[in-house]
């Protein structure tokens, strides 16, 4: 209903207003006069009270008009911020809608949250950036029971930051966005499997995407993602639908909410209108159609990680060497080192320490779904805001893993066709950003084959994006901009190895630093 406050604070209703969805309140107030200064304290003007509260999830889903074949957007990252109550109700309804297309950052795990939808046979197609921990989901994909879009296609899937931006674009009334993520890869060129046949052959592959050059750089055009219904989870809400999130459980929940034609929200705590200060509201109730009390709040912790008196598990061997060398990338003299978790936390702290009375909190996880703490002065935000920081060049250094790297700085890190399905996660956005990109990985695969090659055989995460490669054997600098005719330069080597050892394990030629090769373990 549309409420207009007249010049004397009276309320006037139009018969047309009674036919509208109670989403928007338009308020006009009289102009301030010179002899009528604003009151120093906040005051609430007269309004007609309304509530968006529904008695239960069944009622809310019925009111949403959700039907078979619709697209739904679901908030959550890993198991954090997952609308458990709404998903459990949707999965358990034998006569409920089927053949759904589901858009979500991750696919969760077996027998929980989104996992229950897959097991109930409700989903035809999944739009997601990362699916790695759901083994049933992976099996369904490779046996042809499920379509999975790992490329941006029409109204479908993209990398983690891009899918959040596409949801946000829909909520902003924008038809499309342009992103550097995935330019020059199968992400834009097409060819990644969307569906397999039962015999393992590819049934549907992604077609090419439209690209455009801006200031000499290639960008991929991504259409806005507009689901029929969005399911979101908040920590706190009021009866008008204003939402407050907590920690990293915010993730894509606000982005899903602004995009949905109809939005169902569940909250752990619900209070009367006016009990949440306007300045504390994270998402306005204008985006929420129906609100329920969250009855299912298991809030599983996917990866419990703790320290004890500041001690962490010792990492030895080749991986330990990689970790120690990567730590040296944080140079002395920088003003301040602050860690960002791409799922929505700036000021990432260590694992919780029970000896300091720090308890594991499912609402505070990192991008690996591990329990973490936040340092003093930290801030939390949505997924779209997180990747705006990254793409906008506000993050200086990116360190991530890989499956293959090429001599020209190409990176493959998310997919082995027919064998392994993890998803891009946020990697495409991370490597396409202006930050320095460092890849950490073992020098050879488990079968002994080289992972540093002339040309990547796996689908690319980014083309010409890697600045440095740190392995258990050595350190390479990548001339990704061909400032020195391209290629790799060996700058450091592990103790006990020779340059010939590195050549034997590397499937591309490389130069050796003119000033000599240092030992990785040297300070």
Active site residue ranges: 342
Which residue matches tokens 């390479």?
Answer: 476
Among 151, 71, 159, which Cα is nearest to 386's?
Answer: 159
Q: Is 178 exposed, middle or buried (0-12, 13-18, 19+ CB in 10 A)?
A: middle
Query: 3-class SS at 440?
Result: strand
CA distance 34 to 15: 37
The radius of gyration computed from the CA coordinates of the chain, to the nearest angstrom, equals 25
> What are the Cα distances from residue 425, in Å, to 45, 123, 160, 163, 431?
45, 21, 5, 10, 12
- How far is Cα 523 from Cα 519, in angstroms, rounded to an integer? 9
Residue 292: C-alpha distances to residues 16, 71, 229, 238, 451 (Å):
27, 21, 15, 10, 50
Q: What is the DSSP letter of 450?
A: B
452 three-class SS: strand
Count the alpha carbons within 13 Å of 424 in the hemisphere toward its beta carbon: 33
Which ranges of 54-111 would DSSP assign to H, the alpha helix?
57-64, 84-92
Give the residues across from 308 on adjacent strands: 311
Please give, one letter per residue, the 3-state secondary structure of 266-316: EEEEEECCCCCCHHHCCECHHHCCEEEECCCCCCCCCECCCCECCECCCCC
Instruction: List the beta strands (DSSP E) in 385-433.
Output: 397-401, 404-406, 411-412, 415-416, 420-421
Please name the helix (run of DSSP H) or strand (run of DSSP E) that holds residue 324, with its range, or none.
helix 317-327
**Residues near 495 by Cβ (< 8 Å), separated by ≥ 6?**
519, 520, 521
Helix (H) or strand (E) holding 124: strand 123-127
β-pair type (217-223, 176-179)? antiparallel
Q: In this structure, what token pair is assigned to residue 218? A: 């290639």
13: left (phi over 0), alpha (psi -120 to 50) or beta: beta
Contact yes or no for 446/488 (Cβ under 8 A): no
> Residue written as tokens 């920590």?
235
């Amino acid at each position: 209903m549309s409420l207009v406050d007249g010049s004397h604070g009276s309320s006037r209703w139009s018969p047309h207003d009674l036919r509208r969805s109670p989403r928007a309140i338009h308020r006009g107030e009289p102009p301030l006069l010179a002899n009528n200064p604003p009151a120093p304290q906040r005051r609430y003007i007269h309004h007609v009270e309304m509530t968006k509260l529904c008695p239960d999830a069944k009622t809310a889903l019925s009111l949403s008009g959700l039907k078979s074949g619709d697209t739904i957007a679901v908030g959550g990252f890993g198991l954090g911020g997952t609308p458990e109550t709404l998903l459990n109700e949707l999965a358990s309804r034998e006569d409920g809608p089927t053949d759904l297309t589901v858009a979500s950052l991750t696919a969760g795990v077996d027998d929980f949250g989104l996992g229950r939808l897959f097991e109930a046979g409700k989903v035809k197609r999944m739009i997601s950036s990362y699916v790695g921990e759901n083994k049933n989901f992976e099996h369904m994909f490779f046996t042809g029971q499920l379509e999975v879009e790992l490329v941006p296609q029409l109204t479908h899937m993209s990398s983690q930051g891009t899918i959040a931006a596409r949801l946000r674009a829909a909520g902003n009334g924008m038809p499309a966005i342009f992103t550097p993520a995935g330019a020059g890869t199968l992400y834009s060129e097409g060819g990644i499997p969307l569906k397999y046949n039962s015999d393992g052959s590819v049934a549907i592959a992604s077609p090419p995407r439209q690209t455009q050059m801006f200031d000499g750089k290639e960008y991929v055009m991504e259409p806005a993602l507009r689901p029929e219904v969005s399911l979101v989870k908040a920590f706190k809400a009021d009866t008008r639908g204003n939402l407050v999130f907590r920690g990293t459980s915010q993730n894509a929940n606000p982005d899903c909410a602004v995009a949905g034609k109809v939005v169902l929200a569940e909250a752990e705590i619900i209070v009367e209108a006016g009990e949440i200060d306007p300045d504390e509201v994270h998402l306005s109730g204008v985006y929420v159609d129906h609100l329920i009390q969250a009855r299912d709040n298991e809030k599983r912790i996917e990866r419990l990680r703790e320290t004890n008196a500041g001690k962490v598990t010792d990492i030895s061997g080749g991986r330990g060497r990689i970790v120690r060398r990567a730590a040296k990338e944080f140079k002395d003299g920088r003003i301040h080192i602050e860690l960002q978790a791409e799922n929505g936390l700036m000021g990432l702290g260590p694992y919780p320490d029970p000896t300091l009375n720090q308890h594991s909190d499912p609402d505070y996880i990192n991008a690996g779904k591990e329990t973490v703490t936040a340092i003093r002065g930290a801030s939390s935000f949505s997924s779209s805001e997180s990747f705006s920081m990254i793409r906008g060049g506000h993050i200086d250094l990116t360190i991530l893993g890989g499956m293959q790297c090429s001599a020209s700085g190409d990176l493959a890190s998310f997919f082995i066709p027919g064998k392994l399905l993890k998803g891009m996660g946020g990697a495409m956005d991370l490597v396409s950003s202006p930050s320095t990109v460092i890849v950490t990985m073992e020098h050879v695969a488990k079968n002994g084959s080289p992972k540093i090659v002339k040309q990547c055989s796996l689908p690319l995460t980014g083309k010409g994006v890697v600045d440095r490669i740190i392995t258990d054997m050595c350190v390479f600098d990548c001339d990704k901009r061909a400032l020195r005719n391209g290629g790799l330069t060996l700058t450091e080597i592990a103790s006990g190895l020779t340059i010939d050892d590195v050549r034997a394990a590397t499937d591309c030629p490389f130069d050796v630093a003119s000033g000599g090769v240092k030992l990785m373990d040297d300070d």
